[in-house]
Amino acid sequence: MNTMEKLFSQNKIVPVVVIDDVEKALPLAEVLLECGINNMEITLRTASAIDSIRRVAQNLPEMVVGAGTVLTPEHFSDAYEAGAKYIISPGLTHELLERGKSLLTKVRFIPGICTPSQAMDAANAGFNYVKFFPAEPYNAYNVIKALASPLPHIKFCPTGGVTVDNMAKYLELPNIFAVGLSSIVEGKLIAAGDFAEIKRRCEAAVAIVNNIINK
C-alpha cells in the first residue's frame, strides 16, 4: 500500500468542507470520526480555513485533514504549514505542479483534471492520483470508466455533484480511490451547528461504502 492509499484506506469518503467559524472545526471532525470517517478536505474558501486545518491537525492526529480549493503556490505552502496531509486543487497549473514536486516527500498533492490530456499531464509530472472536477457536469462516471484501460495507472477522486444517491456507481469502478462529498457536510448545517443531521448523512454514506465492500 503506497502513501496515498494509506491516506484514504479507512474508507473512500472525503467530506468537502466549508468552515466559516473556526470553532466549528473540531466538533465537525469529531462527528466524522464517530461515523467512521477519518478524512476531511477543508476548502480554502473562507478566512477561517487555514486556522481550521491547523486546529484539527494539532488536536485530532487520527483525522487525516487535507486542504482543498488550493489555487496558488502560496495557498499550497500555507496549507502545508498548517498541517494539511494532502493538498487538492480544482485544476492543474504548472506552478502548482512544481510546488507539489518540491514538497513531494512532505505532503501529497492531488491536482484537478477533467480531460484525458490533463490526467496524462498530471501523471507525467508524477501525480497519479487526481481529482476529477466537476464530476457530474462533465459526465465523470463514463469518462473515468473509459479511462481505466488506456490509463490504468491513474486513480480518480470524482467531486462536484457526487452525492449519497449516486456515489455507489463511482465506488464500484476499479480506478476510484475516493469520492468527494459536500452534501453530507453542507455549509448551512455546519454554520447552524446541526451536527446531528451531519452525523445522519455521514452514517448513510458509510453504510453505502460498507455495502459495496461486503458484496
What DSSP line would sit under 93-114, residue for residue?
-HHHHHHHHHTTTTSEEE-EE-
Is residue 203 flagged as an active site residue? no
* Contact between 199 and 34 (Cβ < 8 Å): yes
Closest CA to 94 of 72, 74, 79: 72
Which are the contacts of 6, defined by CB distance < 8 A and separation ≥ 6?
none
**Residue 33: CB atoms within 10 Å:** 16
Q: DSSP label at 130?
A: E
Q: DSSP label at 184?
A: G
Distance CA 46, CA 91 (A): 19
Cell numbers for 62: 487520527
Q: How far is CA 165 from the centre of its chain?
A: 18
Exactly one of 12, 24, 85, 131 is catalytic; which is it?
131
3-class secondary structure for 56-80? HHHHCCCCEEEEECCCCHHHHHHHH
Is residue 131 flagged as an active site residue? yes
**Catalytic residue numbers, as ranges:** 41, 131
